[in-house]
């Protein structure tokens, strides 16, 4: 059974994953829309930057975020100037790292959903004198709803499973930065295999249910298919 510390880690993980998913949807939607519609020469560069967390080790991302948000980094100096202190080894630092690391898991499904719409529905709306904003809100967003569901679930699930980034940025502070993956690592390090098995088994079951739900829902919408293309996990 989970003890009080593990339950606290569970609550912190759920809060972190929820906040990260909301931030990713807000930030990722306009980027995905631009990538799906643009013909700019910068599209490949932006797409590569978005996908970079898929190929970089999480510890590399965590290291550079520590440098940026540390006392001598530009972000760290800015947050200190605002009176917020430093973000590393805080919940908000975890949120920043989680958003950066999970970005492609949200942007890529959204981009694919927007591309699948095609130009015809938007052209029809334009003939009815709908503004670009109206076409986006009343046509694109409803048609891309399956992509938003996929993006939200994958963003949430990937945040739950993060380890390298959160350990680098947050460490293992009970009640502040100890999430489930870090708690599992702590149990293994302490040779407490009983608690480690409970946490590991729960995370395996959670991951299986997430993927099962995605495949079932996407199968109902499109008949078949994979929920995300080219996704990795760190």
Query: For the chain, what is the total number of helices (H) and then of strands (E)?
Result: 12, 0
Give which of 169, 16, 21, 5 is closest to 109, Cα–Cα: 21
User: pLDDT (tens digit, 9 = 90+) per residue, 26-82?
Assistant: 999 999 999 999 989 999 999 999 999 999 999 999 999 999 999 999 999 999 999
Quick one: pLDDT at residue 232? Answer: 45
Instruction: Give the model's pLDDT for residue 124.
Output: 87
What contacts 187, CB < 8 A, 6 or more positions away? Answer: 193, 195, 196, 199
Q: Which residues of the chain fall short of a pLDDT of 50? A: 223-234
How many Å apart are CA 8 and CA 174, to the nearest integer? 8
pLDDT at res. 190? 87
Q: What is the pLDDT of residue 127?
A: 86
Q: What is the DSSP letter of 53?
A: G
Q: What angle do CA 143, 148, 154 make, to 5 degrees?
A: 150
pLDDT at 224: 40
Residue 26: closest CA among 151, 159, 162: 151
How many other CB atoms sit within 10 Å of the CB of residue 4? 8
3-state percent helix, strand, coil for the chain, nearest multiple of 5? 75, 0, 25
pLDDT at 221: 59
Alpha carbon 98 to chain centroid, angstroms: 6
Domain residue ranges of the chain, discontinuous segments joined by +: 4-38+51-222
The pLDDT of residue 225 = 42
CATH architecture of the domain with range 4-38+51-222: Orthogonal Bundle (1.10)
Angle separating helix axes 145-161 and 180-189, nearest 10 degrees? 30
Write down the pTM of the prediction.
Answer: 0.86
């Amino acid at each position: 059974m989970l003890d009080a510390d593990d339950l606290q880690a569970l609550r912190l993980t759920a809060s972190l994953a929820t906040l990260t998913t909301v931030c990713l949807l807000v930030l990722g939607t306009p980027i995905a829309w631009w990538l799906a519609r643009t013909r700019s020469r910068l599209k490949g560069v932006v797409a590569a930057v978005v996908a970079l967390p898929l190929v970089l080790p999480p510890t590399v991302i965590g290291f550079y975020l520590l440098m940026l948000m540390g006392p001598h980094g530009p972000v760290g100096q800015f947050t200190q100037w605002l009176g917020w202190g430093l973000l590393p080894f805080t919940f908000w630092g975890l949120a920043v790292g989680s958003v950066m690391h999970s970005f492609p898991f949200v942007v890529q499904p959204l981009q694919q959903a927007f591309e699948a719409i095609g130009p015809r529905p938007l052209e029809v709306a334009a003939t009815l004198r709908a503004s670009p904003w109206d076409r986006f809100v009343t046509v694109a967003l409803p048609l891309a709803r399956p992509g938003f569901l996929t993006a939200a679930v994958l963003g949430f699930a990937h945040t739950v499973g993060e380890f390298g980034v959160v350990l680098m940025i947050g460490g293992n502070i009970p009640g502040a930065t100890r999430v489930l993956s870090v708690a599992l690592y702590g149990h293994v390090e302490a040779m407490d295999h009983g608690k480690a098995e409970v946490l590991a088994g729960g995370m395996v079951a959670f991951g299986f249910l997430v993927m099962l739900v995605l495949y079932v829902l996407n199968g109902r919408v499109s008949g078949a298919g994979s929920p995300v293309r080219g996704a990795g996990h760190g």
